Amino acid sequence: MNIKKIKSDFPILTQKINGKDLVYLDNSATSQKPESVIDSINNYYTTYNANVHRGIHTLSEKATEKYEEARKKVADFINAKSQKEVIFTKGATESLNFLANSLGKNLNKNDEIILTEMEHHSNIVPWQFVAKEKGIIIKYIEINPDGTLNISNLENLVNEKTKIISLTHVSNVLGTVNPVEKIIKRAKLVNPNVIAIVDVAQSVPHIKVNVQKLQADFIAFSSHKMLGPTGVGVMWGKYKLLEKLHPFLGGGSMIASVTKKTTLFAEIPERFEAGTPNIAGVIGFGVAIDYINQIGVDNIYKHEQELTSYAIDKLTKLDYVDIYGPKNRAGIISFNVKAVHSHDVSAVLDNYGIAVRSGHHCADILHNKLNINSTVRASFYLYNTKEDVDKLVMGLGKVKKIFK
Amino acid sequence: MNQYTSQILDYAQNPPNYGQIENCNFKVNASNPSCGDSLTIYLNVKNGQITDAKFWGKGCAISRASASMLLESLIGKNLNEINKLNKKNVLDLLQIQISPSREKCAYLILNALDNIPKR
């Protein structure tokens, strides 16, 4: 991987923040975008802006072709059996709300759903809505002190009332990579009818995700965390299950015919994409996938693993820093500077052009469980370098100096 | 852009009025759940005049300094003065620039004082 060349593909990375070179370490929140993605959006609006699946005119046909081309790229990227299994949403959050709403229609009082204590709020709150409405019980797989999931008693959590298990592939705080294949297999051994959902928002940009191996029935992720535009996400589902799934949103393009009394739905995937979609965003997302493919997701993974162990090594040597999470992890490191609030750490680092996240990263349950108020999070992507890690370490030295 | 002036750091790290007051006249809370910050404010009032004010809880340097300095400025004032407090009073005390993302830290103390029952 030629990081220098990669960096030069991202216009934003050349700018100065507070007079310093930008060191962008907030990739779990959102990634930066390469010029090719930005250009593709500009090109769409400049040369073929039109609605999709509607007009019988040149521009609409081109827009539709490009939009559907992106769907094929996504399908190939995750190794879906058919591009019809790829549904575009506005983000992983909408994908999970979609599933909670639509699958929730078939749930009854006292049915059970299994989540984990390390879920992002987007994989908790939609299920709580359903639970409240239908009288459903939510159970949580607990977190071990080292930040891995405690699956020793999984067989006790799953029973004949369990309808859904929904869990994250990678923790957005700790970087823990969960053994989702194993967890789903074991859950389905107890109850083969359990529907398995995996939130791959934090994994698919960095780790090869193959839905033929993952054991999931549905997955959810976002374009903006993988070099694509905001406002685009994916809900992938096995075709047989999509056939039984009730649409989340009703409106234009999801119908075959409408009478005063009833509606016949369109075919899949249009059935699940009511209204004019984020056409420019989807096309840009397709170009982002091209970019990742050109580098190779396995190369990206290897690069991030090198950076992560380098960073863990450096941070461990700082006796004033506490690191959270397991030894083996994706490129996400949450930590605290002893006796300094995460917001203050982040604000000082910002003075040196270093962008990290601070707070609870939409994971209250996890922070409460680990008994931490908030954390600072550094997260890597393909354009980060060891020099970026060195600058982070330098910045933490400044924090220590200010808050002595 | 240095928010961490020696004055801010002094008040944040060693706030003179950090603590709890038993049997106080007013005890109110405010929190910023997204930061994990929460402040409890204790006030003693005699003949309408604030005689003691302390705070307790977790917070970043900006929220702690802001709470400490504003409470310090209230000693000896009439309790009704609290109704007139605004963001400018806080900024005048802090003497630093507050970026939009840190406003909720700086003004947490105002939210807390807002919870004192109106007279």
Task: Read off the pLDDT of residues A165-183 as tens digits, 9 standing for 90 and up.
Answer: 999 999 999 999 999 999 9
- pLDDT confidence of residue B1: 55
Cβ of B36 within 8 Å of Cβ of A18? The answer is: no
The rounded distance, in Å, linking the Cα atoms of A162 and A35 is: 46
Query: CB contact, 8 Å: B105 with chain A?
Result: yes
Of B2, B34, B61, the CB nearest to A341: B61
Cβ neighbours of A347 in B, within 8 Å: 3-4, 102
Cβ of B35 within 8 Å of Cβ of A403? The answer is: no
- pLDDT confidence of residue A384: 98
**Closest residue on chain B to A343 (Cα):** B60
Q: How far is A303 from chain B (nearest CA, A)?
A: 32
Task: Read off the pLDDT of residues B46-102 as tens digits, 9 standing for 90 and up.
Answer: 999 999 999 999 899 999 999 999 999 999 999 999 999 999 999 999 999 998 989
Query: CB contact, 8 Å: B60 with chain A?
Result: yes
The conformational region for residue A175 under phi > 0 = left, psi -120 to 50 = alpha, else beta, is: left
Cβ of B62 within 8 Å of Cβ of A367? The answer is: no
Q: Output the DSSP codes for chain B.
A: -----HHHHHHHHS-TTBS--TT-SEEEEEEETTTTEEEEEEEEEETTEEEEEEEEEE--HHHHHHHHHHHHHHTTSBGGGGGG--HHHHHHHH-S---GGGHHHHTHHHHHHHTSPP-
The rounded distance, in Å, linking the Cα atoms of A270 and A71 is: 12
Peptide bond into B100 cis (omega under 30): no
Tally A–B CB contacts below 8 A.
41
Which of B:75-104 have CB within 8 Å of A? Answer: 102
Annotated active-site residue in A13, A255, A295, A362: A362
Query: CB contact, 8 Å: A359 with chain B?
Result: yes
The residue whose two tokens read 């359903």 is A130
Cβ of B36 within 8 Å of Cβ of A360? The answer is: yes
Domains of chain B, earliest start first: 6-114 (3.90.1010.10)
Query: CB contact, 8 Å: A374 with chain B?
Result: yes
Is residue B118 very low, low, confident or very high in pLDDT (cuts 50, 70, 90)? confident
The rounded distance, in Å, linking the Cα atoms of A136 and A185 is: 23
Of B3, B34, B58, the CB nearest to A347: B3
Which tokens is B69 given?
Answer: 């300095």
Q: What is the mean pLDDT of chain B?
A: 93
The rounded distance, in Å, linking the Cα atoms of B7 and B9 is: 5
Here the ipTM equals 0.89
- pLDDT confidence of residue A300: 98
Query: CB contact, 8 Å: A367 with chain B?
Result: yes
> Contact A173/A324 with Cβ under 8 angstroms?
yes
- pLDDT confidence of residue A360: 86
Q: Where are the alpha helices (DSSP H) in A279-383?
A: 279-295, 297-316, 342-351, 364-369
Q: Output the DSSP codes for A43-94.
A: HIIIII---SSS--SHHHHHHHHHHHHHHHHHHHHTT-S-GGGEEEESSHHH
Per-residue DSSP letter, A136: P
The rounded distance, in Å, linking the Cα atoms of A172 and A378 is: 11
Residue B105, pLDDT above cutoff 80: yes
Cβ neighbour number for residue A44 with a 10 Å cutoff: 21
- pLDDT confidence of residue B119: 60
Residue B37, pLDDT above cutoff 90: no
Q: What is the pLDDT along chain A (404 residues), one digit of tens a residue?
A: 899 999 999 999 999 999 999 999 999 999 999 999 999 999 999 999 999 987 789 999 999 999 999 999 999 999 999 999 999 999 999 999 999 999 999 999 999 999 999 999 999 999 999 999 999 999 999 999 999 999 999 999 999 999 999 999 999 999 999 999 999 999 999 999 999 999 999 999 999 999 999 999 999 999 999 999 999 999 999 999 999 999 999 998 899 999 999 999 999 999 999 999 999 999 999 999 999 999 999 999 999 999 999 999 999 999 999 999 999 999 999 999 999 999 999 999 999 999 999 988 889 899 988 888 899 999 999 999 999 999 999 999 999 999 98
- pLDDT confidence of residue A230: 98
The rounded distance, in Å, linking the Cα atoms of A204 and A215 is: 15
Cβ neighbours of A20 in B, within 8 Å: none
Query: CB contact, 8 Å: B3 with chain A?
Result: yes
Cβ neighbours of A356 in B, within 8 Å: none
The rounded distance, in Å, linking the Cα atoms of A139 and A332 is: 26
Of B9, B33, B59, the CB nearest to A402: B9
The rounded distance, in Å, linking the Cα atoms of A359 and A147 is: 18
As beta bridge partners, residue A257 has A264
Query: CB contact, 8 Å: B58 with chain A?
Result: yes
Which tokens is A86 given?
Answer: 């790829």
Query: CB contact, 8 Å: A241 with chain B?
Result: no
**Closest residue on chain A to B12 (Cα):** A403
Annotated catalytic, A385? no
* 3-state secondary structure at position A103: helix
Cβ of A373 within 8 Å of Cβ of B58? The answer is: yes
Domains of chain A, earliest start first: 3-26+296-402 (3.90.1150.10), 38-293 (3.40.640.10)
